[in-house]
């Protein structure tokens, strides 16, 4: 397996500019000609996947079930985690960028700490 770089923009609080930073990083990597795959893992406000030039894949890990941002447990989408895992293992991109929304912070971090 070749070496890959994973850049994930994450914080457990909303409104910090994670999507803004992810967009700047993504734009810079495209400008540099890096072979990069982008994932938008923001379930509340997916920004990165809105830029057609980035071809970011929106992977929603779960649905939020109320106004307080609680995760609907039955909605956890393990296939979304596997999409990133498969890109890490089998994809031909050297860099993977993931924009994580604040509710996605813990499920994303837990999955990749255990499985990678």
Q: pLDDT per residue over 52-77, tens digit each?
A: 888 888 887 766 666 666 666 666 67
Q: If you average pLDDT over residues 68-91, what whole number do you get?
A: 75
pLDDT of residue 77: 72
Cα(77)–Cα(102) distance, integer angstroms: 17
pLDDT of residue 44: 73
Cα(66)–Cα(82) distance, integer angstroms: 26
| Beta carbons within 8 Å of 15's beta carbon, 6+ residues apart | none
Please state the pTM of the whole predicted model: 0.76
Cβ proximity of 100 and 8 under 8 Å:
yes
Q: If you average pLDDT over residues 22-28, what whole number do you get?
A: 90
Least confident of 8-17, 34-43, 88-97: 8-17
Beta-strand pair 36-41/57-58: parallel
């Amino acid at each position: 397996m070749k070496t890959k770089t994973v850049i994930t923009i994450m914080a457990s609080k909303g409104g910090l500019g994670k999507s803004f930073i992810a967009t700047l990083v993504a734009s810079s990597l495209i400008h540099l000609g890096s072979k990069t795959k982008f994932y938008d893992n923001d379930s509340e406000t997916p920004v990165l996947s809105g830029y057609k030039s980035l071809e970011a894949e929106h992977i929603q890990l779960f649905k939020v079930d109320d106004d307080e941002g609680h995760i609907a447990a039955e909605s956890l989408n393990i296939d979304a985690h596997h999409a990133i895992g498969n890109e890490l293992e089998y994809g031909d991109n050297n860099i993977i960028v993931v924009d994580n929304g604040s509710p996605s912070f813990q499920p994303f971090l837990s999955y990749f700490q255990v499985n990678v």
